[in-house]
Amino acid sequence: MIMLTRILFLTLILLCRGLYESVEAQDTLVLAGRASNVRLIEEDSRSLSFEVQLQLTLRNASTSTAILYSHDFMVYGNELFAKTDKGAAELLHQRFGPSSTDFSPVWGELRQKLNMPAPPNDLTRLLQSEQWIEINRTVVLRFAKGKGDRSTWAEIRVRSPLFLQVAMEMFPSNLDYEQGRKSTNAFGKSLQSKWRRFGRLQVKPIRSEPIQIQLPEG
């Protein structure tokens, strides 16, 4: 019964994913983990902020090889959910950073280094079926004390349990821009096609499974 409830809750969260529409489905790479520490780092009359330290595992759940671009995977968004009395997922908080658009020459140089018949060993790594890597990340959650956000701190603090989902960038979006314009054929997808005999290059961002967190009193 507990397992069935969890499955239903995960399903409802995926249905409520909002801005996660462009995020890769969880059938290839699974991002899961736990919150190792949560602490209050800032508070004023209008808002307060919590720092959440996450210990994550990125696992290849498919039967094929996953190709990862070797860089510090950036967490660019998060959503906080609670579970209603009926077991539904209720979105309480949502935050996404602005997308980065950088036209510096370094990205053109990196495109040239990546545009090879096989994945370059110094710029990529292979994750075989059921292999995983550990990733530690820190997320800051900021809540308004007054109206303005989806839910105020007064409304969030009384909810329990809370579940956090994060979105992680797997392939730099700046690689798809050239001469100030977005390429008509996405660079990442062209590498996917070129490298398909070695595995599947992860281009789209992925979202984590729900991570239960406990927020301290502000």
Q: What percent of the chain has pLDDT over 90?
A: 54
pLDDT value, residue 12:
44
DSSP letter at 199 equals: -
Name the pLDDT band for 212 (thresholds 50, 70, 90): very high
- 3-class secondary structure per residue, 69-135: ECCCCCEEEEEEEEECCCCCEEEEEEEECCCCCCCCHHHHHHHHHHCCCCCCCCCEEEECCCCEEEE
The structure's pTM equals: 0.81
Which residues have a Cβ under 8 Å from the Cβ of 8 and sit 6 or more positions away?
Answer: 87
- All structural domains of the chain with their residue ranges: 2-213
Bridge partners of residue 51, in order along the sequence: 39, 140
Token pair of 55 as six digits: 């210990």
Q: pLDDT tens across 155-195, in order?
A: 898 998 899 999 999 998 888 766 555 555 588 999 999 99
Q: Closest by alpha carbon to 176, among 186, 168, 161?
A: 186
> Residue length, the chain?
218
Give, rounded to a whole angstrom, the gap between the first and last alpha carbons of the chain.
34
Name the pLDDT band for 21 (thresholds 50, 70, 90): very low
Q: What percent of the chain has pLDDT over 70?
A: 79
- Asked if residue 167 lies in contact with residue 96, where contact means CB atoms within 8 angstroms, the answer is yes
The tokens 């968004």 sit on which residue?
77
Q: pLDDT tens across 103-133, in order?
A: 678 888 999 999 999 999 999 999 999 999 9
pLDDT value, residue 179:
53
CA–CA separation, 34 and 63 (whole Å)? 25
